[in-house]
Amino acid sequence: MSTGEGYAGDATRVVAGTHKAAYRASWYQRDAVQAILWVGPAFLYLAFFIAYPFVMSIYLSLSSARVGSPDWHYVGFVNFRRLFEDPVFWQTVRNSFVFTFGSEIIRLLIGLPLAFAMNRSFKGKRLVQGIILIPFVIPIALSSLAWKWMFDSLYSVINWMLMTAHIIDYPWQWLGEPGLAMSAVIIMNVWRGFPFSAVILLAALTAVPGEVIEAAKIDGAGPLRRFVYVVAPIIRPILFVGLLYSIVFSFTDFSSVWLLTQGGPYNTTHVFGTYAYNIGINAGDIGQGAAITLFMFPLLAIFVIVMLRLLRRE
């Protein structure tokens, strides 16, 4: 694994010479100064548009802020305490995990065979690539609406297909029954996200050098062994990147669930984003809404740090 930092010192030491050393010293000194220019704008952006509002949100979650009144005051952890006593909140936590990890697992299971299928050249590959990407490209708000209509209580095209194929004999209430509703939002999330998972997996597969596979084949390894012991380790870093991105995306998602079910039926599809929005904005309790959203952050951070640790451990 080549990182930038370590080598510079070694390489120049080999070519030692006061001239070079002096040159290197002034380089180094200028590095710290130069860094300000290079990283400065990005840092400013983060400070202004993320750090400051984030800190404000923390403050909001510890305050009695409401939507209409300009005067709020510090109330300590009352908002959090109310959340912990709220059964709907805990249901939201459960739902968020089920939604995120359920979608992710299905996406990987579906994406892998697709990546294998795409990992060869064939006629019309460009076209197929474009088509497969469409669910990923359609703005979420719009595809959520389309799915809403597809799951409609009366006109569902999904029910129509299932009934015509005699798989079910009465229309299922996709958005009306708790289990079905969660399945519906997961299905939609999977449809939207699997092109991305497939592309990541495809990228990963193309990174595996052909010779390595051949060598493994010669050694007599079957497809499963080849995958587990040869392919998987190589594609791990890429997988992690993709996994991280799509898990964070699902976990913090708001518009897809909101447009499909508004958290119903009776709160069985509420996720952090939708519950926070409903309480913070619609009901007007900003403090409590901020508390709910903030709760996501440590969970995500822990997950990310664990993933990064695993990634670095090579």
Partner 1 sequence: MAQLTRRQFLGTTAAGVVAAPHVWVKGAEAQQKSVSILCWSHFVPAYDKWFDQFGQEWAAKNNVKLTIDHIPHLNLAAKIAAEVATQSGHDIVQLAASGTEKFAPALVDLQDLADKLGKKHGGWTPLADNYSSYKGKFHSIPDYFIDFPGLYRKDLWTEIGMPNGPDSWEELRQGGAKLKAKGFPIGIGLAHHNDSRNSWRAIQWCFGGSEVAKDGKTLTYNSPQIREALKYMKALYKEAMTPEVLAWDDASNNRLLASGRGSWIHNPISAYRTIEGQNKELADKIHIQLSPKGPAGRLSFANCLAYGVTKFSKNQDTAKAFIEHLTDNFKDAFRASTGYNNPFLKTYAKGPLPIISEDPKLKVLEKSPEYHYTIGHPGPLTVAADEVYQQFILIDAVAQFCTDKMDLEQTVKWGEDKLKAIYAKFA
Partner 2 sequence: MITRARWRKFKRDYGAYLPLSPYLFVVLFPFYWMVITTFKRDNDLYNLTGMPFWFKEAPTLSHLKLLLNETLFLTWLKNSMMIGVFVVAITLIIGLPAAYALARMKFPGNQTLSTAMFLSYLIPPALLFLPLSQVVRGMGLGDSIWSLVIVYPSFTIPFCTWLLMGFVRTVPLEIEESAQLDGCSRFQAFRMIILPVIVPGIITAGIFAFTLTYQEFVYSLTFISASANKTISYGVTTDLIRGDVFYWGSLMAGALIGSVPVAIVYAFSLDHFIHGLTAGALK
Instruction: Give the binding site for partner 1 (CB under 8 A).
Output: 66-71, 82, 85-86, 88, 148, 151-155, 171, 173-177, 181, 261-267, 277-279, 281-286
**Is there a contact between 253 and 275 (Cβ–Cβ < 8 Å)?**
no
**Is there a contact between 286 and 66 (Cβ–Cβ < 8 Å)?**
yes
Choose from partner 1, partner 2, none: what does 71 bind? Cβ within 5-8 Å by kind: partner 1
Q: Is the dihedral of CA 47, 50, 53, 54 positive or negative?
A: negative
Min dist CB 251 to partner 1, Å, is 21
CA distance 78 to 119: 54
| Interface with partner 2 (CB under 8 A), residue from 104, 184, 267, 273 | 273
Query: In terms of C-beta density within 10 A (0-12 exposed, 13-18 middle, 19 or more buried), how is residue 240 classed?
Result: middle
Burial 104-135 (b: 16+ CB within 10 A, else e): bebbbebbbebbeebeeeeeeeeeeeeebeeb
CA distance 277 to 257: 12
- Contact between 5 and partner 2 (CB under 8 A)? yes
CA distance 156 to 172: 9
Min dist CB 102 to partner 1, Å, is 20
Kind plus residue range of the DSSP H or E element containing 21: helix 18-46
Q: Which stretch binds partner 2 (CB under 8 A): 12-20, 69-77, 173-181, 217-225?
A: 12-20
- State which residue, 215 or 302, has the beta carbon closest to partner 2: 302
- Contact between 227 and partner 2 (CB under 8 A)? no
- State which residue, 283 or 308, has the beta carbon closest to partner 1: 283
Choose from partner 2, partner 1, none: what does 210 bind? Cβ within 5-8 Å by kind: none
Q: Which of residues 83-142 bind partner 2 (CB under 8 A)?
A: 110, 113-114, 116-118, 120, 122-123, 125-142
Choose from partner 1, partner 2, none: what does 182 bind? Cβ within 5-8 Å by kind: none
- Residue 11, beta-bridge partner list: none
Min dist CB 84 to partner 1, Å, is 12
Choose from partner 1, partner 2, none: what does 129 bind? Cβ within 5-8 Å by kind: partner 2
- Contact between 180 and partner 2 (CB under 8 A)? no
Which tokens go with 298? 């440590």
- State which residue, 67 or 306, has the beta carbon closest to partner 1: 67
- State which residue, 73 or 220, has the beta carbon closest to partner 2: 73
- State which residue, 181 or 273, has the beta carbon closest to partner 2: 273
- Contact between 1 and partner 2 (CB under 8 A)? yes
Q: Which of residues 284-313 bind partner 2 (CB under 8 A)?
A: 286, 290, 293-294, 296-297, 300-301, 304, 308
Category of 171 on φ-ψ map: left (φ > 0), alpha (ψ -120 to 50) or beta: beta
The three-state secondary structure class of 53 is helix
The DSSP code for 90 is H
